[in-house]
Structures are given as C-alpha cells and as structure tokens.
C-alpha cells in the first residue's frame, strides 16, 4: 500500500473520530489536533487497527510520536 493511500484512509478515520476535516502530514501530532486526548487516542488507534487490519503493540501505541510513525507501521504490516 502506498503512503498516499494510507494518508487518505487515515484522514477519513480522523474526520470520523474528531468530527472535523484534518489535513495530515508525517509531522502531525496530538498537539496539532484540538480534541486529541488520551480517550480519543484509544478510539483513534482502534479505528485505525480495524481499517487497516493491523494490531499495534502497547509499546508502539505509547511511543508513536507522530502520524508518520503510524504510517510507517501500517505500510510495513500491509506488505
């Protein structure tokens, strides 16, 4: 799966979770999205796992610094 496809799907998921259109970049973090707190983070991770049929480890979830790292994991597991 290409990065552009991953970002397109992620933007749809972010829109569903945060109820607003968000233009994602590799550098997007929780600080860039107003309502991204620990509870919505869990909802977001769950939605991403469902959409891409991946499972993030607890270590990955707690150490992901930005959307780019999420995309890297999704790409690797989509091969």
pLDDT tens, residue by residue, 22-55:
999 999 999 999 999 999 999 999 999 999 999 9
Q: Find out whether 68 and 26 touch, Cβ atoms under 8 Å.
A: yes
What does pTM read for this prediction? 0.93
**Cα distance between residue 34 and residue 55, in whole Å:** 26
Fold of 3-77: 1.10.1200
Does residue 78 carry a pLDDT above 90? no
Burial 6-26 (b: 16+ CB within 10 A, else e): bbeebeebbeebbeeebebee
Q: What pLDDT was estimated at residue 35?
A: 92
Mean pLDDT of 53-67: 95
Distances (CA, A) of 30 to 1, 10, 19: 24, 14, 15
| DSSP, res 30 | G
Q: What pLDDT was estimated at residue 40?
A: 95
């Amino acid at each position: 799966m290409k990065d552009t496809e991953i970002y397109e799907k992620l933007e749809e998921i972010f829109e569903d979770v945060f109820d607003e259109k968000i233009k994602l970049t590799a550098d997007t973090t929780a600080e860039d999205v107003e309502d991204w707190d620990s509870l919505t983070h869990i909802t977001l991770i769950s939605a991403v796992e469902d959409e891409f049929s991946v499972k993030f480890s607890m270590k990955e979830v707690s150490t992901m610094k930005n959307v780019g790292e999420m995309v890297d994991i999704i790409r690797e597991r989509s091969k």
